Amino acid sequence: MDDIAGNLILIGLMGAGKTTLGKQLANKLRRTFYDSDQVICERTGVSIPTIFELEGEAGFRCREAMVISDLVQQKNIVIATGGGTVLQIENRLKLQQNGHVVYLHAQPEVLLGRIAHDKNRPLLQVSDPLAKLQELYTIRDPIYRTTAHTIIDVDSPYSIHTVTRIIRLLRKPSQQLSLL
């Protein structure tokens, strides 16, 4: 087993790379990977936009909270959370108490460049998705920061070295880290 204690839990805004980097981290660390969005889709058999359409954001958040409760009971896994998972205090506490929480931080402009083409994020299907991401950043950045044990800047495009660098950074005691 690697020397990163407990579950490794990724938080951050849409497009930060929680899913993409989470999978790569799990592979490298030989841990099982779960993505809370993906688990919700598997349990319901429908996509996230469909859940938002049928049950609204509140319905989605309820399902998300149930999935987080279940996932944090496992040991030594990597969890990619949804961008809004930290909005509920109960989720925040469960994440903090059951793993090492890493905030993947990037600026809204960078995030939009990565996900603008993707219709799978209902909150961004608006006339001005950049303004929406900026609004979410303003509200959520302080929450991500206070929830995380470690913050890593992921504005720069990832390379084949990114995951190795993140693992190295996670072994350091410092809290504010940059991939640069």
Ligand X SMILES: O=C(O)C1=C[C@@H](O)[C@@H](O)[C@H](O)C1
Among residues 28, 122, 134, 155, the one that binds ligand X under rule CB under 6 A: 122
Instruction: Report whether 140 belongs to an annotated binding site.
Output: yes
Q: Which of 5, 178 has the CB closer to ligand ATP?
A: 178
3-state DSSP: the chain helix, strand, coil percent, rounded to 5? 55, 15, 35
Instruction: Report whether 165 belongs to an annotated binding site.
Output: no
CA 144 vs CA 1, 31, 87, 91, 119: distances in Å: 27, 24, 9, 12, 24
Q: Does 80 bind ligand ATP (CB under 6 A)?
A: yes
Q: Which of 167, 159, 150 lies closest to 29 in space, CA to CA?
A: 167
Q: Does 129 bind ligand ATP (CB under 6 A)?
A: no
Q: Does 82 bind ligand X (CB under 6 A)?
A: yes
Q: Does 92 bind ligand ATP (CB under 6 A)?
A: no
Q: Does 130 bind ligand X (CB under 6 A)?
A: no
- Using the 8-state DSSP alphabet, how is residue 124 labeled? G
Q: Among all residues, whose Cβ is closest to ligand ATP?
A: 17
CA 55 vs CA 18, 35, 131: distances in Å: 25, 21, 25
Q: How far apart are CA 122 and CA 126, in angstroms?
A: 8
Instruction: Report whether 22 belongs to an annotated binding site.
Output: no
Look at the alpha carbons of 3, 8, 12, 16 in this order and tell me if their dihedral is positive or negative. Answer: positive
Give which of ligand ATP, ligand X, Mg ion, none residue 114 binds (C-beta under 5 to 8 Å, depending on kind): ligand ATP
Q: Which of 19, 24 has the CB closer to Mg ion?
A: 19
Q: How far apart are CA 180 and CA 176, in angstroms?
A: 12
- Contact residues toward ligand X (CB under 6 A) are 14, 37, 48, 82-84, 121-123
Binding-site annotation, residues: 15-20, 37, 61, 83, 121, 140
Binding-site annotation, residues for Mg(2+): 19
